[in-house]
Structure 1
Amino acid sequence: MGYVTSLFARKMIAAAGDVIDGAALLQGAGIDPDGPWDPKVMIPAATYYDMLERLADQIDVTEMPVRTGASMQLDEYGALGLAFKAAPTLGASYARVERYARLWTSVVQYELRPEPRGTLFILHRPGERRLGMRLSNETTLVSSVSIARQVSPVPVKPLEVLIRHPAPSSVAAHEDWFGCPVRFGMGLDAILYSQETLAQPNILGDAGISRYLASHLDKELSEIADEAPLVKETKDAIAQALSEGAPKMADIARGLGLSARSFHRRLSEHGISFQTLTEETRRELAEGLLRDDGHSLAEIAFLTGFAEQSSFTRAFKRWVGITPASYRKARADG
């Protein structure tokens, strides 16, 4: 399962305003509503999509991606935001995103693709086009233009915006904000820019600073790649230990040949906590077992580390929004 920065979740809740219980939605996604807005703190992508869908149950979210994406500021992107600013042209800025987006998300890849009318900045995100993903994709496209407008000395207006999923009830807010046609139901998620727009020099473009920041980002990227096997090994170890109850971090660390302190530090550097990995592993295991009619709910509760079925039911409803029994029935009916 992939991860996204918790900053996206916080921004979406902030854009919704006081009409929803934002603290409860953030807590349901495993985010401390009173904690710092640290972009390096990651949450599972599926958890983010779940949160967006619960938000959609409470308010009209048609214009939420526009409001949220437009609120994104380059200063919130850390070193990647600085590299975007310092790149000599807007096209070079987007090349930074294409290369370094892995620092923000492991579920999206970006591509710059030349085409006869200009260049497409393409968002690749595999998976089911569920509502949460659709809202996330729209927000990402909006934010991609928002940050471009923050570095350009002239107004930035795409030639058109392409979105794979069907259009919402109204696209007026989208087209008004982008300032160009927004075409839904297309074959890809992308922004089409003219070559002239991408060749426009940035306000703070500086080749020397840009090279320095790129080397810093290369180092961060290599550290993420180095830590990926640790995450997988940790989840495997947690899954094996769950039948004996919720595992302790010290026990898992010992099994991986690490001290508890070193284990905690390495996970923290990756932007992931042991608690988050445990919750994610439990959820993934529960969903898999619920798709198999050979296990009762009581057995699944035991296999996922819960002492009582009622505790499992409460946790699963927090993760997914419905009870295990309802989830199993919905899968069977579908």
Structure 2
Amino acid sequence: MAARKLQSEEWGQAEQIGYLEPLLVSKGKSWKGLVQRFPLPRHASDLKGRKVEMSLMLEVFEYAAELIGDDAAMLDYYSDLPHGAIPTFDYVALCAPSLRAALQNWQRFIALRTNCYHMIFTEETGFGILTWDIPDRLGTRTQNMFAKIAWASSRIEHIVQDPDLHLTIELTVPPPRCTSRFQERYGNRLLFSQARDRILIPYRYLAAIPPKNEENLYGLVEATAMAEVEKILSLHDPINRIKAAVNEHFKSGDCKLGTVAKSLGMSQRSLQRHLETEGTSFRELTDTIRRTLASGYLRETNLTLQEIAFLLGFSELSSFSRAVKTWFGLSPSQYRRNR
């Protein structure tokens, strides 16, 4: 069968489809059943490192459930998927300094997995909320959404390590006809045919520290993720490349227009023109990113205020303190205490 071109250029990482092979085998089916119907390689392992049109991926997931005759199997299978099965994207959460940072990282690094939907982390009264914003134009997503929600909830549970954790899961898709252990475990906290696809986490758990957290290891994982995102974005949106570069140069303490432009292989004027097309400037962009990083450093790390000021390019602590007061209405110490 001829390979389907990425005409829409809306892609997902193809190895997600490859994860289905063990599930098929466990149900008495084989990878060949998918190959006969879809433009897939003869071996599931050949999907590693490749991209596939997202609408095709969703079709494959739906057909796989039909093939095995169990439309709830994805919930159990992806809930039990081993840690690290989704390289980098698993570890930016499992090695993060807190559950809050883990959820922020999924939002931050979703470009590693796809270019056509978003994961969004927000905090509202009483809850941290992880939402999938997936366009309906991509097609039926029931089975793929079962996989996503089961995978994410299992990682959250592992990070929190509390049997009393009560997640609430809302799905836009209809309930399966079959049953699963996952459904039994969540009971009436697993809701179907809702307005959004999301997980609600009680606020008190957002500060939970993952068992695998270790500062040096996390530094390596984060650097790897940033490098992979930069590689992906370098082929597409120059604005995203600039944002990623600014983010990294802040962390090295050298975020000047000339330095960022040089690291991107651009002239300073070329970089400024890209930003002008977006209605912003280098100063406005760096201020926005500096504010975001300041919030993260103050909330999620034990770095001293002097260290944070240096990382954000402030020559004096007093300048950093004034900036934080402008951004958040609190001094750095007050903001940190209120985390």
TM-score bracket, shorter-length normalisation: 0.5 to 0.7
Distance 1:225 1:75 in 2: 23
Instruction: Please name the residue that 2:300 is paired with.
Output: none
1:77 aligns with 2:96: no
51-60 or 98-107, larger mean C-alpha shift: 51-60
Instruction: Please name the residue that 1:217 is paired with.
Output: 225
The answer to whether the 8 Å contact 2:94/2:210 transfers is yes
1:140 aligns with 2:148: yes
Which digits, 9 at most, give the CA deviation of each residue in 1:77-118, with x for residues without a partner?
A: 223333222211122112111111211122331111112231
Segments ≥4 residues shifted beyond 6 Å: none
SS in 1 for 2:169: strand
Q: 2:52 aligns with which of 34, 40, 43?
A: 43
> How far is the alpha carbon of 1:155 from its aligned partner?
3.7
- The aligned amino acid for 1:204 is K
The answer to whether the 8 Å contact 1:162/1:188 transfers is yes
Q: List alignment gaps of at least 5 residues for structure 2.
A: 1-7, 238-339
1:119 aligns with 2:118: no
Alignment of 1:292-311 (within 5 A): none
The answer to whether the 8 Å contact 1:158/1:191 transfers is no
Distance 1:96 1:108 in 2: 15
Instruction: Please name the residue that 1:199 is paired with.
Output: 207
Distance 1:12 1:89 in 2: 30
The answer to whether the 8 Å contact 1:158/1:180 transfers is no
Distance 2:51 2:70 in 1: 23
The answer to whether the 8 Å contact 2:73/2:180 transfers is no
1:159 aligns with 2:159: no
Distance 2:187 2:79 in 1: 13
TM-score by length of 2: 0.60
SS in 2 for 1:4: strand
Distance 1:201 1:26 in 2: 42
Distance 2:180 2:47 in 1: 33
SS in 1 for 2:234: helix
Q: Specify whether residues 68 and 129 from structure 1 end up closer, same or farther in structure 2 by C-alpha distance, changes over 3 A only.
A: farther
Higher relative contact order (CA 8 A, sep 6+): 1
> How far is the alpha carbon of 1:39 from its aligned partner?
4.4
> How far is the alpha carbon of 1:69 from its aligned partner?
1.4
Alignment of 1:60-99 (within 5 A): 60-99=69-108
RMSD over equivalenced CA pairs, Å: 2.7
Alignment of 1:258-297 (within 5 A): none
Instruction: Please name the residue that 2:304 is paired with.
Output: none
Q: 1:103 aligns with which of 95, 112, 129?
A: 112
TM-score by length of 1: 0.61
Instruction: Please name the residue that 2:306 is paired with.
Output: none
Instruction: Please name the residue that 1:169 is paired with.
Output: 177
Percent identity of the aligned residues? Answer: 12
Distance 1:97 1:16 in 2: 28
Q: Specify whether residues 158 and 3 from structure 1 end up closer, same or farther in structure 2 by C-alpha distance, changes over 3 A only.
A: farther
> How far is the alpha carbon of 1:38 from its aligned partner?
5.8
SS in 2 for 1:119: strand
1:228 aligns with 2:236: yes
Q: List alignment gaps of at least 5 residues for structure 1.
A: 230-334
> How far is the alpha carbon of 1:141 from its aligned partner?
0.6
Q: Identify, as 1 or 2, the structure richer in helix.
A: 1
Q: Specify whether residues 182 and 8 from structure 1 end up closer, same or farther in structure 2 by C-alpha distance, changes over 3 A only.
A: same
Distance 1:115 1:134 in 2: 27
Instruction: Please name the residue that 1:55 is paired with.
Output: 64
Which digits, 9 at most, give the CA deviation of each residue in 1:165-209, with x for residues without a partner?
A: 222335664432446611111110000001122221111212343
1:185 aligns with 2:193: yes
Distance 1:110 1:15 in 2: 26
The answer to whether the 8 Å contact 2:71/2:178 transfers is yes
> How far is the alpha carbon of 1:120 from its aligned partner?
0.9
